[in-house]
């Protein structure tokens, strides 16, 4: 066994052994944080390594067992140290990721890399500014991984958890998985990126449209106080938003996007993997999820009888909500006419002037679970009572980034806040 092979084995075995040693029956939250941290670090290390190589900070040699330009054993060991170990090594759950622990992890991992990287001759070529690359990796991989572990265990910083989870699973499903499939099968990213501009643009636009139900479902989970990650779920059953039409909106969006990627990359292997993904979700994941939800959520069985996993309903499942629109506002009156023309289910439209709490200045939506949305967000929620096509429009304009921009434009065109006198009944 050569010295280089021994070093590679140690870079994998030491992190695996440390992870096994510190895996002392962790709590459900801590175990979920460790797995999520590993996945994030794995995806982020792969992506940033491509950037580092492009900038010339370092480059790994082409050795057996490499994937995307990085030795796979080193990649896994690195991700375990930076993603899985921080939540396992920490003290009590509320102490994980405190500023002191974060500084200790950054200094320790930075020190290990400073000692190890120059000694990996024959495995990595260091550029003159490799220390800059090391600092970048510590900042964009290790720090978010440690913070994500703390937020997941303590259930704090919901927005931060959602953003990092979206980065993780988007990179995993739409980049790493297709890359792995195409590396062993057919197709390539070059077919998508170097093909005719119109075809690339069309596929990317269709993928963006297919992502809308998934993003709207994530936003619906956030309104319920949780995330799509199984170890960090909402505290209640979510049956609104895309879930009023389809039980698996995220999985359905992913399948459509993978199918479009298979077309764009001309990969039959990726198309077959997409079929395998559907089969796994339908025959393995769905029954397990149904069993868990049936045991945990009393309302699940009634929902499961009405909403199918893969075939959407034409009308929403049990919507009961109220929309307040001003009678004295021309734009509001026109909006009411439009919404009523779509024949919404379970939506009562009431004059905003009759709202019994002072201070109502925008359209207001009060949902079946007590959720509230105002302004354009209220209109977006109202559209979701009007059939699948209008619901899609509502999901799109209600997305966290889209809605504020559209609201700003609407305010500039006269659709902003209005002073309405509240009347007591």
Give the model confidence (pLDDT) of 90-130 as tens digits: 666 555 656 777 888 889 999 998 888 888 877 889 999 99
C-alpha dihedral sign at 69, 141, 10, 53: positive
Which residue shows structure tokens 């899985």? 84
| End-of-domain residue from the set 156, 190, 212 | 156
Residue 421 lies in a domain: no
In this structure, what token pair is assigned to residue 52? 């580092």
Residues 275 and 371 in one domain: no
354-390: b (≥16 Cβ within 10 Å) or e: ebeeeebebbbbbbeeeeebbbbbbbbbbbbbbbbeb
**Better pLDDT: 392 or 25:** 392
Q: For the chain, how far is it from start to end, CA to CA, in angstroms?
A: 86
Tell me the sheet residues that pair with 351: 325
Contact between residue 377 and residue 318 where contact means Cβ atoms under 8 Å apart: no
Amino acid 425: pLDDT: 45
Nearest to 146 by CA among 85, 77, 67: 85
Name which residue leads in pLDDT, 95 or 23: 23
Which pLDDT belongs to residue 424?
47
The pLDDT confidence band at residue 420, using thresholds 50, 70 and 90, is low
Domain boundary among 268, 284, 308: 308
| Residue 422 placed within a domain | no
Which of 308, 338, 366 is the endpoint of a domain? 308
Whether 1 and 148 share a structural domain: yes
**Is-contact 162 222, C-beta < 8 A?**
yes
Residues 147 and 203 occupy one common structural domain: no
Together in a domain, 240 and 385: no
- Given a cut of 70, whether residue 72 has pLDDT beyond it is yes
* Same domain flag for 224 and 124: no
More confident residue, 284 or 95: 284
Instruction: State whether 26 and 98 are in the same domain.
Output: yes
Q: How many domains does the chain have?
A: 3
Helices and strands (H, E) in the chain, number of each type: 19, 8
CA distance 192 to 187: 9
> Is the model's pLDDT at 412 over the cut of 60?
yes
Range of the domain at 128: 1-156
Residue 78 and residue 14 share a domain: yes
Alpha helices in 224-267 (DSSP H): 249-265
Q: Are 362 and 324 in contact (CB under 8 A)?
A: no
Same domain, 227 and 304: yes
Average pLDDT, the chain: 87
My answer on whether 199 and 253 are in the same domain is yes
Neighbours of 18 (CB within 10 A): 17
326 assigned to some structural domain:
yes
pTM of the model: 0.89
Two tokens, residue 254: 């992913």
Reduced to 3 states (helix: H, G, I; strand: E, B; else coil), residue 94 is helix
418 within some domain: no
152 and 9 belong to one structural domain: yes
User: CA 15, CA 22: separation in Å to the nearest integer?
Assistant: 11
């Amino acid at each position: 066994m050569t010295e280089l092979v021994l070093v590679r084995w140690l870079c994998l075995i030491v992190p695996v052994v440390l992870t096994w040693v510190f895996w002392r029956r962790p709590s459900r939250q801590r175990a979920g944080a460790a797995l999520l941290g590993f996945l994030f670090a794995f995806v982020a290390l792969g992506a940033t390594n491509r950037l580092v190589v492009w900038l010339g900070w370092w480059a790994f040699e082409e050795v057996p067992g490499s994937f995307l330009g990085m030795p796979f054993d080193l990649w896994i060991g690195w991700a375990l140290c930076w993603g899985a170990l921080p939540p396992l090594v920490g003290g009590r759950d509320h102490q994980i990721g405190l500023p002191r622990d974060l500084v200790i992890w950054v200094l320790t991992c930075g020190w290990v890399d400073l000692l190890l990287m120059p000694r990996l001759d024959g495995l990595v070529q260091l550029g003159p500014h490799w220390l800059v690359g090391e600092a970048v990796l510590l900042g964009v991989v290790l720090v978010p991984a440690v913070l994500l572990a703390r937020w997941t265990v303590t259930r704090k910083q919901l927005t931060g958890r959602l953003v990092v989870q979206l980065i993780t699973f988007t990179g995993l499903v739409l980049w790493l998985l297709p890359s792995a499939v195409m590396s062993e099968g057919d197709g390539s990213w070059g077919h998508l990126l170097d093909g005719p501009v119109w075809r690339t643009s069309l596929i990317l636009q269709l993928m963006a449209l297919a992502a809308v139900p998934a993003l709207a479902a994530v936003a619906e989970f956030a309104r319920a106080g949780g995330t799509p990650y199984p170890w960090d779920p909402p505290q209640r059953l979510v049956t609104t938003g895309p879930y009023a039409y389809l039980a698996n909106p995220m999985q359905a969006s992913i399948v459509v996007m993978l199918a479009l990627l298979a077309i764009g990359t001309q990969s039959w292997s990726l198309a077959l993997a997409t079929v395998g993904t559907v089969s796994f979700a339908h025959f393995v994941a769905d029954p397990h999820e149904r069993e868990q939800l049936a045991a945990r959520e009393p309302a699940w069985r009634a929902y499961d009888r009405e909403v199918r996993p893969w075939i959407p309903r034409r009308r929403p499942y049990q919507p009961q909500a109220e929309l307040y629109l001003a009678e004295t506002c021309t734009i509001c009156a026109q909006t009411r006419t439009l919404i009523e023309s779509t024949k919404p289910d379970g939506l009562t439209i009431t004059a905003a002037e009759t709202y019994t709490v002072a201070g109502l200045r925008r359209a207001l939506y009060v949902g079946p679970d007590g959720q509230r949305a105002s302004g354009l967000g209220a209109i977006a929620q109202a559209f979701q009572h009007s059939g699948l096509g209008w619901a899609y429009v509502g999901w799109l304009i209600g997305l966290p980034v889209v809605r504020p921009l559209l609201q700003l434009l609407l305010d500039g065109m006269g659709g902003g806040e209005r002073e309405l006198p509240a009347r007591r009944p």
